Chains A and B, each alone.
Chain A
């Protein structure tokens, strides 16, 4: 079975350009998460969706960042305009909803999109 699929794997762009990262979650998963990983700050949650609806976007750095999930099999993270400090690896992850007495919340991560803004 296919895991979480992200594209592009690598993106190099110049400051001020628009960047769009894409994610296809695992079929049947109803939660989708966008994380950013840097050496300085580690793995940070940016936003997550449940059944295509954004639930918590408190981790989105600023208005330059936006995320959408038009359907259950596709999500985008857009940065406009991009800045050098946005350089990082961006991960998409998906999971099943939690229920019952013991939530597990296992996340299945994609391979990441490495963004370099010059």
Chain B
């Protein structure tokens, strides 16, 4: 059962365009992370949000956690070819009161054409 649905699945845009990727769930998460994965490599953490309504900016990337902590969005301004990759959201749940067991989303494959 996939708990986190991302949209769109694929996105091909021109350099300089803006885009938004969405991550939606019917479940509440204690935290939400976004990772980027490049071909032949493992995912790398971009950001973690933990408070409903929280907005974080990382240069041209803006991340938002929904008020109800069930959804999140990633907005990229003026995309560059270096932004190309697979973007994964991951919802964190406390498990046994201890570790943060991450559930990964379905992924959005972004291609930015020069």
Contact = CB atoms under 8 A, between A and B. Distances in A.
A25 interface: no
A91 B18 CA distance: 31
Contacts of A102: 31, 50
Interface stretch (A66-74, A80-88, A107-115): A107-115
Given A93-B42, A103-B92, A109-B42, A98 B98 contact: yes
Contacts of A118: none
Contacts of B95: 55-56
A104 B49 CA distance: 8
A103 B102 CA distance: 11
A97 to B, nearest CB: 6
Contacts of B99: 31, 48, 50, 55, 95, 97-98, 103, 105
Contact of B45 (A91, A107, A110): A107
Given A102-B31, A103-B94, A106-B45, A43 B104 contact: yes
Given A43-B104, A107-B90, 10 more contacts: A44-B104, A56-B101, A97-B98, A97-B99, A102-B31, A105-B31, A109-B43, A111-B40, A111-B42, A112-B41
Interface of B: 2, 30-31, 33, 40-45, 48, 50, 88, 90, 92, 94-96, 98-107
